[in-house]
Amino acid sequence: MAKNQGKILIIDDNEELLIAFRFFLSKHFSQIDTIKNPNQIPEFLRKETYDIILLDMNFSAGINTGNEGIYWMKQILDKDSNASVLLITAYGDVEIAVNAMKEGAADFIQKSWDEKKILSTILSAYKLRLSKLKIENLEHKQKHLSAKIDSKYNNVIGESTAMKSIFSIVDKVAKTDANILILGENGTGKEVIAREIHRKSNRSNEVFVNVDIGSLQENLFESELFGHVKGAFTDAKEDRVGRFEIASGGTLFLDEIGNLPLSLQAKLLTAIQNKEISRIGSNKTIPVDIRLICATNNDIDKMLEENTFREDLLYRINTIKIELPGLKERTEDINLLADFFLKEYTEKYNKFDLKFSQNAISKLNQYSWPGNIRELQHTIEKAVILCEGKIIMPIHCWPDGEKQVKNNTANSFNLDENEKILIEKAIQKYKGNISSAAKELGINRSTLYKKMEKYEI
């Protein structure tokens, strides 16, 4: 039998017992340390991290309360909350040992020498230790990943009157669990605001789960949101956890909620009302605790009139409604955002000390930004990449030439015309590849198809 890599510390005042443990366990574990005096425990824990700690319950002659063992167990768990502490107990102290498990002991070992039982108990405790470490590692990774994702969306920037009003609403609603509906054109920062609400909420240490409804195939909607059990349909080869379950305890962000089919709107409404879901193929209900934030760039009122969106669902998801202005409605924030993105991309591409020329600043402020903040962000990134000197010129922002800027600014209040031009250019650039064009424009395929139909492209 191969040795486990685990490290074991044994504390007992019986020298013979320590020798027996060391001899027996050295066949199964890589390191066995023993001490007779529990006062040495802090010193050993400073020098080494142990997977299993075997601890006698009584050290003073004539005392059998187990209090000494419980005291030292608590000291050990204070140092390492993931430690697996096994108490060594005499037959008469079993009840005390069982009570000690309520205080944090993983299990106990009786001094009646049963090697199979002792080894089985220690191996179980070792597996428990590894599981705890794995969970802790996953939690650290999750926090790191969440922090990294949050930093990507940490551009809640604005000094305009419109944005100050938005920030005020965010501060008021963040600490509540009220459902929120965020409205706004593509690229206005709906996900940024959703993440900011989560970051300021009482759920900030829990997961933020983002579901882009618009990017899902219609036949996968229900499975994606609610999960499925193995065999529920042809391709269901294993159980799958849905986004509602994953988000439980945290925030669920449903982007492009306007793209949700009517059939699934009813199921979403039921899940919100009952705070429980059922996976496809299962009758078992699973309770979920989520803070729901939805977003769309669709005209919800128009969808209600056309009976493509349920009125009762709308009432459920928009306890608070936040309407984000387009960049053309907050032009005083353009310079602020441009400077923010300039700093971000000069650091990313190691091209420090870049500055905008006055002409570039002027053009940035004149442009209508039909793609809103997302288009501004992509424009600045492109300019940083293309600029070979220290000054960013308009040509770096618009490599196709200033004619493009003039064409767009000449009709700066004609959003449809500008949007049509952008879509045509993206489709042309990617030679008709709709997926790539949609990605370039910062929208999903279904939205692009709708716009192509609208503009007869």
138 C-beta neighbours (distance < 10 Å), count: 10
Best CA proximity match to 180, nearest among 301, 318, 275: 318
Residue 179 and residue 313 in one domain: yes
Q: Parallel, antiparallel, or unpaired for β 4-11 and 52-56?
A: parallel
- CA-to-CA separations, 394 to 345, 356, 367, 384, in angstroms, rounded: 17, 9, 11, 12
Phi, psi angle pair for 2, to nearest 5°: -70, 145
Q: Which two tokens stand for residue 104?
A: 């944090």
> Is position 310 within any domain?
yes
pLDDT in tens, 161-212: 999 999 999 999 999 999 999 999 999 999 999 999 999 999 998 899 999 9
CA dihedral 314, 317, 321, 325 (to 10 degrees): -80
Phi, psi angle pair for 455, to nearest 5°: -95, 5
Longest dimension (CA), the chain: 96
- The residue type found at 60 is S
> Is position 148 within any domain?
no
Residue 318 and residue 331 in one domain: no
Look at residues 296, 323, 350 and tell me which one is the last residue of a structural domain.
323
Residue 272 and residue 210 in one domain: yes
Residue 280 and residue 308 in one domain: yes
Average pLDDT over residues 103-108: 78
Cα 383 to its chain centre, rounded Å, is 31
> Is position 162 within any domain?
no
> Is position 142 within any domain?
no
Residue 9 and residue 131 in one domain: yes
Residue with tokens 């939690």: 139
CA distance 184 to 30: 60
Residue 261 and residue 341 in one domain: no
Contacts of 375 (CB under 8 A, 6+ apart): 187, 369, 422, 442
> Is position 161 within any domain?
no
Residue 391: pLDDT band (50, 70, 90) is very high
Residue 15 and residue 122 in one domain: yes
CA distance 305 to 95: 70
Contacts of 5 (CB under 8 A, 6+ apart): 29, 30
Residue 350 and residue 313 in one domain: no
Residue 29 and residue 92 in one domain: yes
Proportion of the chain above pLDDT 70, given as a percent = 88
> Is position 101 within any domain?
yes
Residue 17 and residue 104 in one domain: yes
**pLDDT at residue 318, as a whole number:** 92
Residue 249: pLDDT band (50, 70, 90) is very high
CA distance 444 to 111: 67
CA distance 350 to 357: 19
Output the average pLDDT for the chain.
Answer: 85
Best CA proximity match to 192, nearest among 226, 214, 163: 163
**pLDDT at residue 406, as a whole number:** 47
More confident residue, 451 or 34: 34
Contacts of 35 (CB under 8 A, 6+ apart): 9, 10, 11, 41, 44
> Is position 39 within any domain?
yes
Residue 61: pLDDT band (50, 70, 90) is low
More confident residue, 113 or 71: 71
Full residue range of the structural domain in which residue 68 is found: 4-135
> Is position 144 within any domain?
no
Read off the CATH number of the domain in which 261 is found.
3.40.50.300
Residue 401 pLDDT greater than 80, yes or no: no
CA distance 88 to 25: 15
Residue 390 and residue 253 in one domain: no
Residue 412: pLDDT band (50, 70, 90) is very low
Tell me how many domains the chain contains: 3
Look at residues 275, 304, 323 and tell me which one is the last residue of a structural domain.
323
Q: Which two tokens stand for residue 212?
A: 């882009």
- Supply the pTM of this predicted model: 0.63
105 C-beta neighbours (distance < 10 Å), count: 24
Q: Does residue 35 contact residue 41 with C-beta atoms inside 8 Å?
A: yes
Of 343-347, 354-358, 449-453, give the lowest mean pLDDT range. 449-453
Average pLDDT over residues 144-154: 55
Residue 389 and residue 255 in one domain: no
Read off the CATH number of the domain in which 62 is found.
3.40.50.2300
CA distance 52 to 85: 6
Residue 150 pLDDT greater than 70, yes or no: no
Look at residues 84, 105, 135 and tell me which one is the last residue of a structural domain.
135
CA distance 215 to 212: 6
CA distance 18 to 36: 8
Read off the CATH number of the domain in which 442 is found.
1.10.8.60
